[in-house]
Amino acid sequence: MNAIELRDLEKHYRDFDLRISLTLPQGCILGLVGENGAGKSTTIRMLLGMTRPDGGSLQVLGQPQADKEQIGVVLDEPAFPECLTAKQVGKVMAGIFRSWDKAAYEGYLKKLGLPESKSFKEFSRGMKMKLSIAVALSHHPRLLVLDEPTSGLDPVVRDEVVELFADFARQEDHSVLISSHIVSDLEKLCDYVAFLHKGRLLLCEERDAFEALDPAAVVGSRRSPYGVSAILRRSEAPAGMQLEPVSIEDLFILMVKEDAQ
């Protein structure tokens, strides 16, 4: 079973159009990368039912609507009332999640060095993000959806956090979708990487897929900090690889940029 399936999911804004098809097999970690404004957060919001898609279809854990009891979410901005302490946050969540595990939550607070009685407004950015992660993990989700969870964190905290996600993903029915523009974090963590650019998915493959390709299949390629965009000969591409038709404009830009490199 796939943890996530997005088929031609669309969202149109006045100055931005997003269209994305994407699959996350169960038990895997998919990194969604792209520049700011590429559509990563909009994709995640549609996935969670926070934003209504204008077209296409989706399935999350086999359901057409995300069952949020089974999903742990970390948003790019931790959103708890500033007056609440970590202990109070736990009590609030116990009234929200049916499967809330108080002992697991207290364990995460201890592991992450978060004080129970300090209010949220006194937390640093790193501590706020850690609290969000503790909440996301403490109701035994099957899928983690993480929107820029490492953004703004110092390298030590980032490493701790990435380790937590890796721990979570060790159980074979656990899946993770993580959006980030910090490629090094994704390199440590992901089985698959999807590169989103201006609302279009340019690449969605296993992390090392490009290196494994037969050079004869590659017409042209362009490396960026987020990965590789490549034009392939369909007949030479490995069976089952997700490919999208290339427009003349894409072809032209890629050739020009490749020459420039």
Q: Which residues contact 20 (CB under 8 A, 6 or more apart)?
A: 6, 8, 9, 10, 39, 43, 196, 199, 200, 201
Closer to other proteins by Cβ: residue 135 or 186: 135
Query: Per-residue x/- marks for other proteins, 30-49, CB under 8 A?
Result: ------------------xx
121 torsion bin: left (phi>0), alpha (psi -120 to 50), beta (else)? alpha
Figure out which of the listed residues 27, 35, 68, 142 binds other proteins, where binding follows CB under 8 A.
68
**151 is a contact residue toward other proteins (CB under 8 A):** no
The residues with which 230 forms a beta bridge, in sequence order, are: 221
CB 48 within 8 A of CB 73: yes
**67 is a contact residue toward other proteins (CB under 8 A):** yes
Q: For the chain, give me the number of helices (H) and strands (E)? A: 8, 11
Figure out which of the listed residues 92, 104, 217, 255 binds other proteins, where binding follows CB under 8 A.
92
Q: In the bound complex, what is the minimum distance in angstroms from residue 97's beta carbon to other proteins?
A: 6
Figure out which of the listed residues 37, 62, 77, 166 binds other proteins, where binding follows CB under 8 A.
77
CB 165 within 8 A of CB 153: no
> Tokens representing 217?
């299949």
Figure out which of the listed residues 7, 91, 198, 233 binds other proteins, where binding follows CB under 8 A.
91
Query: Which residues sit at the interface with other proteins, rule CB under 8 A?
Result: 48-52, 67-69, 73, 75, 77, 79-84, 88, 91-98
